[in-house]
Amino acid sequence: MANLFGLFSTSAFMPHGHCYLWQPSVLWAQVVSDGLIGLAYFAIPFILYRFLKARPDIEFRPLFLLFVAFILLCGGTHFLAVVNVWYPFYYLDSVLKAATAVVSVLAAIRLAFLLPQIIALPSPAALKTANEKLRRLSAEKEKANEERFQLALEASPNAILVADAENRIAFANAQTQHIFGYSQEELLNQPLDVLIPKASRQAHAHHVEGFRQEPQMRFMGAGREVRGLRKSGEEFPAEIALGPFRYAGQLNVIAFVADISGRKSAEDKILRQSSELARSNQDLESFAYAASHDLQEPLRGMLGYLQLLQRQFQKEMAPKAVHYLEQAIASGGRMRTLMEALLQYSRIGRTSQLHPIRLESLLDAIAADLHAALEECGAELRYDNLPTVQYDALELRQVFQNLISNAVKFRTEAPPLIRVAAEKRDDGWVFSVSDNGIGIPEEFHGKLFQLFQRLHSRAAYPGSGIGLALVAKAIRSHGGRIWVESNAAGGTTFYFTFGPDFAITLP
């Protein structure tokens, strides 16, 4: 404290006024000048403070602080100079000067260090030019973006419309003209209703209201099909997607409209064709059913009378007549077999009832049925690890029974070995029935599943030519596939799949 008081000690010094010889002109010039300088120096920090506060972007703030301290201290020395004229606080003055020296040297060093950075600061003019350039570039970019956006909108295969808050058309792309027939200018500011058939307007207004209540993206093909109205007055089926967006504080709606009349008419055509096909199939089946039902009667009559003739008058007939009669009856019998087969064929797929069927149980039953035939030629039927399938029991039985019977029928000298297998492949289950029989030359594979197609003489292998046709129909009528791998060298494998809707489970 003594030192501190020492600072204010004035003893041994004489006031600075003496140096001015108390000449009022010099003295007052000094006093007033120092006072004004001090005031100005004290005012500048406040101004700097206001400046820094207003311009938070200004860098070099520590430097500014040094300047503030330096200016304040300088101000202090000038005020003290005024006081020193009358009271010689030279110790205090010395300390203040020393502090000012330190701070000003620090400020100078700091400034020297920062100089390159300060030089690098752009001048307001350069800044202005740069800003200008930037503005121009960004305007160009914006324009390019807008142009690209515009081109994209125009290139869209869909009509794109923007409706404002009052459901007036604020934008329409070029495709709108192709689809609706109105030019873009014609549509601007028109109510949306001009594009909607009268009958749908109310419903549409309702939809739009609903959309505005709950503005969410609505995608195309969400099962919502609407009708559009062309300038020509023609209506067309359309698909529409909606997206909400806010523009100038208002809810706008962007609508994407696709004209699906082409697709629709193609769909209609396919529907029409498939219903025609279904009908013609139906006709064919009822024809086959009726024909074989109704044709049975006259055939029965013919055979009945022929047999009565044979029974009652054979004794009186010449041997040749007896032979003719026998041939006639045999032919009638064959015709009956064919008609029954045809009847069976026409019934496949007409009355299907799907149940889960354990293939192994089914094959057990078939093996029991065919026991005599299998035994007779020493045939071996192998199957295990077969799944359970959902199918019509009768049809499935016909599939396996026919294939197994064929394998027995078309055997070589060797005892038949018949394998039934099921394999799960990438695209689903494939079933197979394979044998070591006589094989089927490849040129006949295409004809194999045709109705009444026979590859052998009746004498060599009896049959109606309906078995494989029946198998194929039982498979194909439910969407399955059947194919064969075989050649004249021997061995045949029939492969088949069930339709995609048939549940197949492992035992």
Cα(243)–Cα(256) distance, rounded to whole angstroms?
9
State the nearest-atom distance from the C-beta of 365 to other proteins, in Å: 17
Show the tokens assigned to 485: 């791998």
> Is the Cβ of residue 351 or residue 457 nearer to other proteins in the bound state?
351
Show the tokens assigned to 449: 């599943």
Find the helix or strand (DSSP H, E) in which 378 lies. Answer: none
State the nearest-atom distance from the C-beta of 300 to other proteins, in Å: 6
State the nearest-atom distance from the C-beta of 322 to other proteins, in Å: 16
> Is the Cβ of residue 178 or residue 300 nearer to other proteins in the bound state?
300
Q: What angle do CA 82, 83, 88 make, to 5 degrees?
A: 120
State the nearest-atom distance from the C-beta of 447 to other proteins, in Å: 28
Find the helix or strand (DSSP H, E) in which 364 lies. Answer: helix 359-369
State the nearest-atom distance from the C-beta of 202 to other proteins, in Å: 52
Determine the straight-line distance between the first and last CA of the chain, rounded to whole angstroms: 106
Of 42, 224, 253, which Cα lies nearest the Cα of 163?
Answer: 253
Q: Cα 241 vs. chain centroid, distance in angstroms?
A: 15
State the nearest-atom distance from the C-beta of 333 to other proteins, in Å: 7
Residues of this chain that interact with other proteins (CB under 8 A) are 293-294, 296-297, 299-305, 307-308, 311, 332-333, 336, 340, 343, 347, 351
Of 270, 269, 273, 271, which Cα lies nearest the Cα of 281?
Answer: 273
Long-range contacts of 198-201 (CB under 8 A, 24+ apart): 199/227, 200/226, 200/227
> Is the Cβ of residue 135 or residue 350 nearer to other proteins in the bound state?
350
Angle between helical axes of 90-120 and 61-86 (0-180°, round to 10): 150
> Is the Cβ of residue 305 or residue 444 nearer to other proteins in the bound state?
305
> Is the Cβ of residue 9 or residue 296 nearer to other proteins in the bound state?
296
The SS3 of residue 207 is helix
> Is the Cβ of residue 301 or residue 378 nearer to other proteins in the bound state?
301
State the nearest-atom distance from the C-beta of 391 to other proteins, in Å: 17
> Is the Cβ of residue 135 or residue 293 nearer to other proteins in the bound state?
293
CA distances from 444 to 54, 276, 440, 462, 470 (A): 98, 31, 7, 18, 17
> Is the Cβ of residue 66 or residue 466 nearer to other proteins in the bound state?
466
> Is the Cβ of residue 194 or residue 393 nearer to other proteins in the bound state?
393
**Contact (CB, 8 A) for 316 and 325:** no
State the nearest-atom distance from the C-beta of 383 to other proteins, in Å: 27
The SS3 of residue 185 is helix
> Is the Cβ of residue 347 or residue 473 nearer to other proteins in the bound state?
347
Q: Residue 299 is which amino acid?
A: L
Environment class of residue 279 by beta-carbon count within 10 Å: exposed (0-12), middle (13-18) or buried (19+)? exposed
Show the tokens assigned to 456: 């052998």
Tokens 């492969």 correspond to what residue?
Answer: 495
State the nearest-atom distance from the C-beta of 498 to other proteins, in Å: 23
State the nearest-atom distance from the C-beta of 465 to other proteins, in Å: 20
Show the tokens assigned to 480: 């399955």
Q: Residue 268 is which amino acid?
A: D
